[in-house]
Structure 1
Amino acid sequence: MQTTSWGLVLTLWGAGLGAAAQYGKFSAIFDQLPEVYPEAGAALGLIVSVVGLLGIFFGVAAGLMVARIRYRRALLWALWVGAALSLFQALLPPLPWMLVSRALEGLSHLAIVVAAPTLIAQICAPEDRGLALTLWGTFFGVAFTILAWAGLPLVDLAGIPALLAAHGAYMALFAVVLGVRLTAVEPEGATPRLSFSRIAQDHVEIYRSPYVAAPAVGWLFYTFCFVSILTVLPGYIAPGSRAFVMGAMPLVSIASSMSLGVFLLRRVSAVSVVVLGFGGSVLAMVWLWLAPGLPMACLALAATMGLIQGASFAAVPQLNDTAATQAQANGAMAQTGNIGNTLGTPIMAITAGSFGYAGLPMLAGLAFVVGGCLHLALARKRQQA
């Protein structure tokens, strides 16, 4: 009987925190970057966005490439490359070189977010996968909280290079630890052929499959709403409670995912929990439409979105039996997640600017409805198959 190595699960999750920090370390210090690159102007935004843009184009390809390289090897290489790039960035090189390093860091990020959850699914006993992958699903929220609570004080104390060097050391530490811990772990399965035609064929196969595509389809609408809501909503919350609500929303989302989400995953399928989360989020948006900026409605929304967050990752191994298809599903989630993160905030901001506050709950509510309905449609397609 397979038993779960929770120490190894937590270590892989720790590597995921480093991957999330690849995305978030420059977001946290974005307001300070003009002091480093005073002539950059609008190009500064690329320092943050180029990581996500690569995910849009190479998310699915990353699933195929990681399966080809093998999961352990890809993860370790990604951690070492990420460590080296962060240490290089700590030198604050000229902007063109910084952008090149960020593009390479985007590839490192993709390899980690595909390989790590695939490995977690392989090392867990079936009954523990829901909890382990729900924990994995918190990596972005936890990392951004750590950057806010510990990273920014470090920058205030020792400057931007100190944060980047600390991140590099963190990635190197996890590369060393996982290099030892993962020696006996290697998912079985054939090594896929790697070519441009195969990558194109992979896109078609993934998004035609109601099994491989389902987590990614729901993830698109979740990410479209999550970052955009956290960006646009604060302007409509009373100033006296704004800081508390915006700080609490990611934490409430994580708490909901790890408590109610895990409880439900032991009783119903992950897809059912995701659909429940979408339905609850629709109701929360109706509440916010009727009571603009109400703190309790904001926290209720965070709690229902937390169900989508954790259960989406748990759905990957429930719907896909092999490491190769799980890597494909995780790669597709990386792709759709980056699409949602990239498009969500500007579209939400334009909608709110055009229709006022009501545009926010209407657009987000519609996105939640579509996400839930597509999950139900794919579930029906699986039943028919």
Structure 2
Amino acid sequence: MQADHSDQTTPWGLVLALWGAGLGAAAQYGKFSAIFDQLPQIYPGAGAALGLIVSIVGLLGIFLGVVAGVMVARIRYRRALLWALWVGAALSLFQALLPPLPWMLLSRALEGLSHLAIVVATPTLIAQICAPKDRGFALTLWGTFFGVAFTILAWLGLPLVTLAGIPALLAAHGLYMAGFALLLSQRLRALRIEAPATTLSVPQVLRNHVEIYRSPYISAPAIGWLFYTFCFVSILTVLPVYIAPESRAFVMGAMPLISIASSMTLGVALLRIISAVHVILIGFAGSVAATCWLWLAPGLPVACLALAATMGLIQGASFAAVPQLNTTAATQARANGAIAQTGNIGNTLGTPIMAITTGSLGYAGLPLLAGAAFALGAIAHLTLARKRQQA
């Protein structure tokens, strides 16, 4: 991408608009999670198939994350983002009709492709339009999109469902996506993007995977993200039963918000003086310490909030690391595609493995498994940093 940063100013209005598009992408994932307990009323007798309504979006990300990074670069970032927003809007409006389950599942699979295109194209665009001094803050802001979207769904989406039903939530999401497609089609028109010539075939896709994960530059944010996502959702899912009932609701509601606040305050401040990888390492080390605290003090609310704060450092800095380690839009898109892939792997595997571990070992299994995963994330980053030094 070619952008003129000679004046070293960042178009913050456009950055916020792109972040807003990211909230819509996160809601593609979260809108059915928020109403999952109500789905049996719509599809009685569907049984385990209802889980696919939520998970099929993430499953596609496991297999197609890297492909999305290549395709977004090939069809150009602005075009990919706008296409994904319009398709996402149409699919959400279709879902508002509550079609038969097979059609709903097909729409969710297609929505997974829309989701991937947005989460690959948008941070790539943000990194390119920002002045270098502002990239850390802007990409840390981008890193909050999932937590903020899930909070909005809880605070506004569920009351809307109570008031007007599930179709109202799905239709509102469709209109939101369409609104941002219209807004960004105007705001992004002036950008001139140069995309590399790429081919898409099975051998080329396999080569792309090898190239990405052999590169200590492209793969590093995604490798760390794997261990972060393995822990984040699984901890939020398994931990509540170990917190005292009188504190449980407050702690579980506060943890995502503390994580976001930590990312946007301490994380941004650290990014101004040290590299994103070093911030990630501080986050992993702090998370290991917090899990040790939780091991010694099971379910202690302040220890839970401390863990959320340290995880927030990993969250924001992981996206900030992409442009620090990769200087071209094409390699940034590949890195963001890899983040989408490893993030979906972590989200998919984390909760069942955590549930099995705590089922076997009891509460101690949670801090042991989470602490080990955080330690492995730090070790992986240190290993990749050493490879970059050797290169």
Q: Confirm or deny a common fold (TM above 0.5).
A: yes
Q: Determine whether 1:83 maps to 2:89.
A: yes
Q: Give the corresponding residue for 1:324.
A: 330
CA distance in 2, matches of 1:240, 1:192: 56
- Which sections of structure 2, spanning at least 5 residues, go unmatched? 1-5
Distance 2:193 2:257 in 1: 33
- Quote how far apart the aligned CAs of 1:39 are: 1.5
Query: 178-187 vs 242-251, which deviates more?
Result: 178-187
Q: Give yes or no for the alignment of 1:140 onto 2:146.
A: yes
- Of 293, 299, 311, the residue aligned with 2:299 is 293
Q: How far has the Cα of 1:192 moved from its partner?
A: 1.9
Aligned equivalent of 2:212: 206
1:267 maps to 273
* Separation in 1, partners of 2:33, 2:192: 34
Residue in 1 aligned with 2:390?
A: 384
Shift of 1:378: 0.2
Distance 2:165 2:155 in 1: 15
Structure 1 partner of 2:358: 352
Say whether 1:241 aligns with 2:247: yes
CA contact (8 A) 2:23 2:149 kept: yes
> Counterpart of 1:301 in structure 2: which amino acid?
L
Aligned residue in 1 for 2:167:
161
Q: Per-residue displacement from partner, 1:298-324 (whole Å, max 9, x unpaired)? A: 000000000000000000000000000
RMSD over equivalenced CA pairs, Å: 0.6
- Deviation for aligned residue 1:189: 4.1
1:184 Cα deviation after fit: 1.3
Q: Structure 1, residues 355-376: CA drift from partner, whole Å, max 9, x if none?
A: 0000000000000000001000
Cα deviation for residue 239 of structure 1 reads 0.1
Q: Aligned AA for 1:52?
A: G
Which of 274, 277, 302 is equivalent to 2:283? 277
Pairing of 1:174-253 with structure 2 (within 5 A): 174-253=180-259
Is 2:143 the partner of 1:126?
no
Q: Deviations over 1:20-51 (max 9, x none)?
A: 00000000000000000002011000000000
> Which residue is equivalent to 1:35?
41
| 3-state SS of paired residue (2:194) | coil
Sequence identity of aligned pairs in percent? Answer: 82
Gaps of 5+ in 1: none
CA distance in 2, matches of 1:163, 1:49: 19
Task: Give the partner amino acid of 2:164.
Answer: A
Secondary structure of the residue aligned to 1:228 is helix
Q: Deviations over 1:323-363 (max 9, x none)?
A: 00000000000000000000000000000000000000000
Question: Once the two structures are superposed, what CA deviation does each residue of 1:68-121 show, in whole Å capped at 9, x if it has no partner?
Answer: 010000000000000000000000000000000000000000000000000000
SS at structure 1 position matched to 2:354: helix
Distance 2:236 2:62 in 1: 21
User: Which stretches of structure 1, 4 residues or more, deviate above 3 A after TM superposition?
Assistant: none
Please say if 1:53 is aligned against 2:62.
no
Kept in 1: contact 2:73–2:195 (CA 8 A): no
Structure 1 residue 200 displacement after superposition: 1.1
Q: List per-residue Cα deviations over 1:206-241 (Å, max 9, x = no partner).
A: 000000000000000000000000000000000000
**Counterparts of 2:327 and 2:194, CA distance in 1:** 12
Q: 2:376 is matched by which residue type in structure 1?
A: V
Question: In structure 1, what is the Cα distance between the partners aligned to 2:200 and 2:191?
Answer: 23
TM (normalized to structure 1)?
A: 0.99
Residue identity matched to 1:163: L
Q: Distance in 2 between matches of 1:68 and 1:189?
A: 6
Cα deviation code 1:185-217 (max 9, x no counterpart)? 233342322222211110000000000000000
Does structure 1 conserve the Cα–Cα contact (< 8 Å) formed by 2:76 and 2:194?
no
Alignment size in residue pairs: 385
Partner Cα separation in structure 2 for residue 186 and residue 287 of structure 1:
50
State the alpha-carbon separation in 1 of the partners of residues 48 and 108 from structure 2.
16
**CA separation in 1, counterparts of 2:376 and 2:196?**
36
1:65-80 counterparts in 2 under 5 A? 65-80=71-86
TM-score normalised over the length of structure 2 = 0.98
Which residue of 2 is the match for residue 22 of structure 1?
A: 28
Q: Contact 1:278–1:368 (CA<8 Å) still a contact in 2? A: yes
| 8 A Cα contact 2:76 2:195, kept in partner | no
Question: Which residue of 1 is the match for residue 121 of structure 2?
Answer: 115
| 3-state SS in 2 of match to 1:358 | helix
Change (3 A) 1:18 1:169: same
Give the match for residue 258 of structure 1: 264
What is the rounded CA distance, in whole Å, between the counterparts of 1:283 and 1:265 in structure 2? 21
The answer (yes or no) to whether the contact 1:71–1:186 under 8 Å persists in 2 is no
Match of 2:309 in 1: 303
- Paired amino acid for 2:145: F
Distance in 2, Cα, partners of 1:125 & 1:189: 20
Whether the aligned pair in 2 keeps the contact of 1:189 and 1:322 (CA below 8 Å) is no
